[in-house]
Structures are given as C-alpha cells and as structure tokens.
Amino acid sequence: MTIHIDPHALQAISSLQRPGKPDLLTRIVELFKSESPESISALQLGLDSADLQAVGAAAHCMKSSSAYLGARLLSERFQDIENAAHENDLSACRVLGGGVDALYEASIEELDNHVSAFV
C-alpha cells in the first residue's frame, strides 16, 4: 500500500536542521509515533461513546500533525472524520474511523522508509 508521503514536507523539516544538533526529522517523526497512539485511542473512545466533540478534537490533532509530516492520505482521512464530527454524523465518523489503524500503520512504515533515506 503506497501512502504517498510528501517528500517536500520532510525536506522542509530537514531544512531546519542545525549543525551539531540531533537529527530534527528523526526526532519529529519519533515524537509523532510516540504521541499519536494517544490521539487515535481518544478518537476510538469518542466513537465508542458517541462523543462527537472528542472525535472531532482527536481528528483535528491527528489531521494537523499528519499533514505536517506529509502523510497526505492519513491527514485527509482525519479531515473527513473531523468534518463528519462537526456535522454530527456519527455513522460517517464510525465508517471513516474503521480504517484508521491500518492507514496509520502504513503511513508510519512509509515515513520510516523516507526518514532513513534522509538521514
């Protein structure tokens, strides 16, 4: 499954690297990987409890951080979930949320591949 990580987003992050400092891109990707499971869990809990406000907040957070790293499809999925939550469409949120875990894992795999090429 190709997720289409935008290499320009990763290049933009890499361009902020300061000499002699730990690799910024690696640090940001690792931070995303360590913090995003909490947001995905919050999204799932919101779906399970029909809390559209929690769903929208978790989707918004993941949309933004995914976009920053160039994970287009993942960001678009969270945008769709956020929009459905704002429209009070729990059914659409649940359908869209159903494939989030697989899309997230595939995005992480592709991000890791891209990062190893940059480092």
Nearest Cα neighbor of 117 from 30, 16, 25 is: 25
Which CATH number is 24-118's, of 3.60.15.10, 3.30.43.10, 1.20.120.160, 3.30.70.20?
1.20.120.160
The pair of structure tokens assigned to 56 is: 């929208």
Task: Please check the confidence at residue 1 and state whether its pLDDT lies above 60.
Answer: no
Distance separating alpha carbons of residues 49 and 58, to the nearest angstrom: 14
Q: Is 62 exposed, middle or buried (0-12, 13-18, 19+ CB in 10 A)?
A: buried
Predicted confidence at residue 4, as pLDDT, reads: 79
Element (H, E) at 55: helix 52-68
Sorted by where each begins, the domain ranges of the chain are 24-118
Predicted confidence at residue 115, as pLDDT, reads: 86
For residue 23, what is the DSSP state?
P
Cα distances (Å, whole numbers) of residue 43 to 8, 25, 27:
28, 26, 24
| Average confidence score pLDDT of the chain | 94
Share of the chain above pLDDT 90, in %: 91
Q: Is the pTM of this model over 0.95?
A: no
